[in-house]
Amino acid sequence: MISSVPKWVGDLFANSLRPNAKVLETSYISSQIKKIRFQGDISKKNFEIGYANVIRVSETDYRNYTAAYHDKKNGIIDIIVHIHGNGVGSRYFDALRTNDEIFIGPSRGKIVYNKRAKQQFIFGDETSLGVAVALFPLLKSNNHQFQFYFELDEENKNVPALLGLKNFIVFIRNNSFRSEKWISDLPLFRTDEWNTANFILVGNVKSVQTFRKVLKAKTQGSIHSQGYWLEGKKGL
């Protein structure tokens, strides 16, 4: 995905990249997690679970964010942003206030939810809270057996509960999800209950890759994975 374009390209398409949504409200769920509600014309956007919207975060930079909630009738989108402080996107959303205007681009991505699988297992981090919140009502209404595992910084450990999620375990980030051996010992693998589940892995690239490797070796389930960010890499 292209995360930045030269200024002259932006200028060329200036009209189509103009702000098309307004901030209605913002709130901090923790010092690092900000929920932002926008209003705009979203009638033509596609909100498949796993899709993200490309959002313009500077004159030349674009980043991917998931609609945690949307309401096409009233033109509402919520996003849940990890304010990690390392990048232009994070700083842009930290500074965003009510009535600010922004450009929300098309939505696209990978479909990760398979309605037919009875069991759904979701692994993610702060960047995955949006997709978790979008998926949660479907998990309940379609009577899935489901489990969330979140790899989070200590200061965000209460966020899943504050967002109203259920059936989650929070693991405080300490690089454990970089170890195949450690992942193999997780409760998930202690029975064969989850053997054929739909596995959704999103968040840090290295954690996702390591988890995927263990799942491939130890289960028969279908695995949908997408890295959302990688140390030292701009705008995945």
Ligand X SMILES: Cc1cc2nc3c(=O)[nH]c(=O)nc-3n(C[C@H](O)[C@H](O)[C@H](O)COP(=O)(O)OP(=O)(O)OC[C@H]3O[C@@H](n4cnc5c(N)ncnc54)[C@H](O)[C@@H]3O)c2cc1C
Residues 95-111 as b or e (16 or more Cβ within 10 Å = b): ebeeeeebbbbebebee
- Which stretch in 13-21, 123-131, 162-170, 183-191 sits in contact with ligand X by CB under 6 A? 123-131
CB of 151 to ligand X, least distance (A): 11
Q: Which of 124, 130, 160, 221 binds ligand X (CB under 6 A)?
A: 130
DSSP 112: -
Closest of 158, 45, 50, 153 to residue 104, by C-alpha = 45
Residue nearest to ligand X (CB): 87
Distance of alpha carbon 59 from alpha carbon 10, whole angstroms:
7
State yes or no: residue 75 binds ligand X (CB under 6 A): no
- Give yes or no for a contact between 213 and 180, defined as CB atoms under 8 angstroms apart: yes
Q: Which of 7, 18, 41, 86 binds ligand X (CB under 6 A)?
A: 86
State yes or no: residue 80 binds ligand X (CB under 6 A): yes
CB of 217 to ligand X, least distance (A): 25
State yes or no: residue 79 binds ligand X (CB under 6 A): yes
Distance of alpha carbon 54 from alpha carbon 16, whole angstroms:
13
CB of 89 to ligand X, least distance (A): 3
User: Could you tell me which residues come within 8 angstroms of residue 58 by beta carbon, excluding any fewer than 6 positions away?
Assistant: 88, 92
Scan residues 42-61 and list those touching ligand X (CB under 6 A).
52
Distance of alpha carbon 86 from alpha carbon 229, whole angstroms:
12
Q: Is 202 helix (H, G, I), strand (E, B) or coil?
A: strand
Scan residues 172-231 and list those touching ligand X (CB under 6 A).
226, 228-231
State yes or no: residue 164 binds ligand X (CB under 6 A): no
Give the footprint of ligand X on this chain (CB under 6 A): 52, 63-66, 79-82, 84, 86-90, 109, 126-127, 130, 226, 228-236
